[in-house]
Structure 1
Amino acid sequence: MVTRSKDWLALLGFGLLSYGVAALGSLATLDNVRGWYASADKPWFTPPNWLFGPVWTVLYGLIAVAAWLVWRRGDRSALGVWAVQLALNLAWTPTFFALRWLWPAFVVILLLDLAVIATIVRFRRADRVAAWLLVPYLAWILYASLLNAGVAALN
């Protein structure tokens, strides 16, 4: 029973970390999405603003579960790579939205792309399901990278 409780507490912890990053990121986006970003020129392939919340809610859940699966396998070094990508994820939002440093944000998101690829590679060694859970995240941030470059080029 202790192992099960520990497993669920770990899942809760990974969820709190992931959704904590989401909550901190939302502090940088809320006013700015309605502010400067609303009037900024954007590429033709920009999705409607309402789509970002549901997509990120699902993605942060997948990020948490993937880390938990790897944690259960005991691969702590892979979790270090996971922590790096989560930190870059956290860094991008205020860089882009709050500071409006569009090209530096593009550098951050490119580093995030590489960190997520590295995380998938490391997670695959420990748990294939965990690696696959991160593929939608990678797809979304690659798309977000294009959006970031588009907004930076147009503004």
Structure 2
Amino acid sequence: MASNSRLWSLPNRRPWLSLLFAIIGTELVGASGSIFTSMGLSTWYPTLTRPAIAPPDWIFAPVWTVLFALMGVAVWLVWRKASGERAHAARLALALFAGHFVVNIAWSAVYFGLQSLRGGLVVIVVLWALIVATIGAFARVDRRAGLLLVPYLAWVSFAAYLNYAFWAVN
């Protein structure tokens, strides 16, 4: 039990170290989806008809890097509350975040790995709903954490429309 309580209190005992850990950890987990992306990016994806709204491919990596960094800060803000009076709400919010991240990675696996535009569309709708739920759960713990996820929701909203547009023209 002692090591478990140390984990939850780390952000308050070593804030800069835990912030760095939260950001790098979120970036690494987020980047794991690129394993699936690389499966179809060089072979299958270029064969698709691109909808007019599709941005250049180079834009995705920097946007996702910034979004994952914002998510890492949001996770850190919630993690800081996981040993205080909002511990239960914080831990539930972090569990929801972890679950949503599985679906985030699943989108890459379905869209690029399985090369399924329709399947990707189904997954991204679920992802969008989980992001909304995560924003709500984070905001109940720390309003700033919820707000830090709003750009992510905006990007995934655009990505959902883009996924639909690719599906519609292919």
Q: Return the TM-score normalized by structure 1.
A: 0.91
Alignment of 1:144-155 (within 5 A): 144-155=159-170
Task: Select 2:156's aligned residue among 133, 141, 155.
Answer: 141
Q: CA deviation at 1:152?
A: 1.5
Q: Return the TM-score normalized by structure 2.
A: 0.83
Q: Which residue of 2 aligns with 1:42?
A: 50
Q: CA deviation at 1:88?
A: 0.7
Do the aligned partners of 1:22 and 1:60 also contact (CA within 8 Å) in 2?
Answer: yes
Unaligned runs of 5+ in 1: none
Unaligned runs of 5+ in 2: 1-9, 83-89
Task: Select 1:129's aligned residue among 129, 132, 144.
Answer: 144
Q: CA deviation at 1:34?
A: 2.2
How far apart, in 2, do the equivalents of 1:9 and 1:90 lie? 26
In structure 1, what residue type is equivalent to 2:92? S
Q: CA deviation at 1:104?
A: 1.3
Q: Percent of counterpart pairs with the same letter?
A: 43
Runs of 4+ in 1 over 4 A off after TM superposition: none
Structure 1 residue 95 and structure 2 residue 110: aligned? yes
How far apart, in 2, do the equivalents of 1:123 and 1:37 lie? 35
Judging by fraction of residues, say which structure has more helix.
1
Number of residue pairs aligned between Structure 1 and Structure 2: 153
Q: Secondary structure of 2:51's partner?
A: coil
Q: CA deviation at 1:8?
A: 4.0
Do the aligned partners of 2:38 and 2:112 also contact (CA within 8 Å) in 1?
Answer: no
Larger Rg: 2
Deviation string, structure 1 residues 29-74 (Cα, Å, up to 9, x no partner) = 2352222111201221100000000000000001111011011122
How far apart, in 2, do the equivalents of 1:31 and 1:91 lie? 14
What is the RMSD of the two structures over their aligned residues, measured on CA atoms? 1.6
